[in-house]
Structure 1
């Protein structure tokens, strides 16, 4: 009997040993699926990236600020840097209806975190009407200070853009609707002292170069050169930037890297169906894509107020030259009375003017006085009613329509046969890229 027990025990140990071996082999074969692979570009591409629990995965993130097009440019730079450093990009959300301006690292973090906290607190705790007096005077219920946060909301990038092609080359994950550094470190299992904060003391301090031996001069907006090769050497799990905005932030000379930048600009396209349907409806009324001229005149804020008159003259002259050279100038008085349908049916050159002017006919009088068939988004108010209510995932009570309408304006003006924009405007730069793609070119014809 004792002999039989010993044999049974040995048999059980053998079975357990075999099971352990099988599990080990299966685990090893699973890990093989996550080995980074590469193709014809220099930076390794992770096809099936590791999970957040992997000790080897490294992350890159940054802080958003300013208007949508500035955030868009920073997002593009973040994708490029993630690709160059072979890190997973933690995407902060798009800020809309309220956004802080640029600030230094910790100040910007505080402003972003305050936006989220104030928004939530006011919604959950404050009276509908509160003049700032009474028991809530010391908290976020002071309307004089904090009502600006009431319409603040956020959305993720893939709610607006098609990221599918870029995700084949760079792993991207959403940060979530939160701007706590402690929560970020916890959510992505970043160990203690395993974060590198890339802090700049000035707005445009460092310009990044992918060529260690580059002879190119630093752009006039920047003060110092920082090598991508030195970024790659940073061994911390989380590489955290503040602002990444500026079209000249990254200088590329490596051809493979230049090609990937083309890929970013060529494939990061708007794919929100509601936006596209409304924009396409307006475009068809204008005679369809390529059958009108698109303009963008920004005069309503910042430096554009001071430069408004110069920019209006510049754009008007360029438009008139184009019409004259193309034999499209029509100045018969009767044409100025035509509505859109009459302009289209008489095959007149149609001008679509995207602008932030409150009263285009008054503020841009010269265009209406000298050129017939000029239209703005205000002429398509019925089309915009099709938006209905568009809730935000962050706050279902906040309508995203006011955020989407300017993007419709962008899409419509960009799909003209010819486009003229406002110098230095990120809106105009985005329209140029869309127009280039429509004409079968690279979005960036001349790379910075």
Structure 2
């Protein structure tokens, strides 16, 4: 009798060559009938079934082994690829040589002489410094002095860690060169208008007959870093080379470096790149868009690494204790040591009696001018509370009695300075309550007679960029509180000692450009000094100058 079939169904039979994880690969369809009862089911040979089962099991095990091998290889390949991309800094950092035939937009600057008129008087002969196999690092400075200083600090650290000679630019004083994307800033830096206006050197900037072409000649000048600060300690550990005029021609003629032997890291914004001395897959935790591992700079085969902007106290993210100490050493070397400035600052200090308080108040331009009322009040509060120790209630009462219309709704926010707390200094000796300026510098107003206000009779030196500070309405808060207040204008003899100095580069008088430095050095020698929030200049005064003059550890920010 024929066996009864209740229904038919389809099942896939896996081929011994199938691959796990792939759909419908190596399968075939077979007809399957419902099982018969045991009585009617014919006997099945045992050995063939066992062999088939073992064969399938062995094939499955092989497939699993192959899969594991493939996954391991793929994982290792992924890690290698990620590491390669990271160390190559995304390949997007590598730009074609700085030439019109590659970029299609940038005009290569005209070739200039090896030592241009901008820098010739302050550089050493290149052929005595360089070697054919020497590798270099360069960057593009911009903006005001303190932005240039911070960029130099970062450049010195990067060059030292990557074992490259730094092409050291001069300091630009006066009208600043504003930040621009790499190609624009590179071309602007190589501007040789001063070279072509050499005839202006012999003319007086106050002469009404001066040609109009010379109008901007006296607006800015250049000096060597060695003129202002002492880099001898830095030079003991790394090589610096002056003289580059920001042209490809100079690199070719003096260092035998062609554009094909330059590795460019071109920025299009201020915050494009940061640099770190550790490996991480994580994106930069700071305000920068990409992180470059410093080790990659040391392994680049090109003889020159050309960077764009390096301004920013937090641009270098350092975890190595040796690198952190290196940056500290570099920053300590930025204290002003020019003998002309030192003599003038010492003269101001002596005139103030040696013991005085200091305020560095930036309110004259940009965002600082916009926030001038708030910053002035905040500096006043810091001086009374953090330096002189007045209680909040007493300060509020004094403020309302002296400046009823400018007292503010309540206490200002006095932020905790955590970086300064990480570099504590020994307790200061008590400020002498009988401190007075020399007899040649009488106080501006009558002294306080109330016992609680006697500390306000202390000599106070205010360093500020405000015009006519003694008559500035914002500074009434200080002039009315401190009868013995002084400004840089009160020391004409010390100021005059700098007026005859001229830049050896272009003959431009240096006096007007040096006043902020003298101002900072005078306030930096105070018994204690407070600065302006968010000002890199004030931070330099409080973190570096004041601490260096007292022999304390400097504060590192960033």
Coarse TM-score class (shorter-chain normalised): 0.7 to 0.9
What SS does structure 1 have at the residue aligned with 2:497? helix
1:356 and 2:356 correspond: no
| Structure 2 counterpart of 1:26 | none
CA contact (8 A) 2:387 2:528 kept: no
CA apart distance, 1:125: 8.2
Structure ID, larger Rg: 2
The answer (yes or no) to whether the contact 2:182–2:267 under 8 Å persists in 1 is yes
* Corresponding residue for residue 153 of structure 1: 221
Are the counterparts in 2 of residues 52 and 189 from structure 1 also a CA contact under 8 Å? no
Find 1:255's aligned residue among 308, 321, 332.
321
Which of the residues 89, 99, 124 maps onto 2:199? 124
Report the Cα distance in structure 2 between the residues aligned to 1:306 and 1:83, rounded to whole angstroms.
40
Tell me if structure 2 keeps the 8 A contact 1:410–1:431. Answer: yes
**Does 1:100 pair with 2:177?**
yes
Query: Aligned with 2:506: secondary structure?
Result: coil
Aligned equivalent of 2:143? 66
- 2:535 counterpart (422, 425, 431): 425
Taking only aligned residues, the RMSD between alpha carbons, in angstroms, comes to 3.1
Structure 1 Cα separation of the partners of residues 170 and 202 of structure 2: 28
Inter-partner Cα distance in structure 2 for 1:223 and 1:89: 25
Q: Which residue of 2 aligns with 1:315?
A: 379
Secondary structure of the residue aligned to 2:260 is coil
Contact kept? 2:165, 2:241, Cα under 8 Å: yes
SS in 1 for 2:241: strand
In structure 2, C-alpha distance between the alignment counterparts of 1:171 and 1:70, rounded to whole Å: 22
The counterpart of 2:233, out of the listed 162, 165, 179, is 165
Task: Report the equivalent of 1:436.
Answer: 547
| Alignment match of 1:190 (pick from 257, 275, 278) | 257
Cα shift at 1:216: 9.0
Secondary structure of 2:275's aligned partner: strand
Q: For residue 349 of structure 2, what is the aligned residue in structure 1?
A: 283
Corresponding position of 2:498: 387
TM-score by length of 1: 0.76
Which of 273, 285, 303 in structure 1 is aligned with 2:367?
A: 303
Is the alpha carbon distance of 1:79 and 1:323 closer, same or farther for their aligned partners in structure 2, counting shifts above 3 Å? closer
Deviation at 1:356, TM superposition (A): 0.5
Q: Greater shift after overlay, 261-270 or 154-163? A: 261-270
What is the match of residue 219 of structure 1? 286
Name the residue aligned to 2:483: 372
In structure 2, the CA distance between the partners of 1:208 and 1:230, relative to structure 1 (3 Å rule), is same
Paired residues, what number? 374
1:406 match = 516
**Structure 1 unaligned regions, length at least 5:** 1-49, 130-140
Structure 2: unaligned runs, 5 residues or longer = 1-126, 205-210, 403-433, 448-453
Q: Aligned residue for 1:35?
A: none
User: How far apart are residue 340 of structure 1 and its match?
Assistant: 6.8
Q: Secondary structure at the match of 2:172?
A: strand
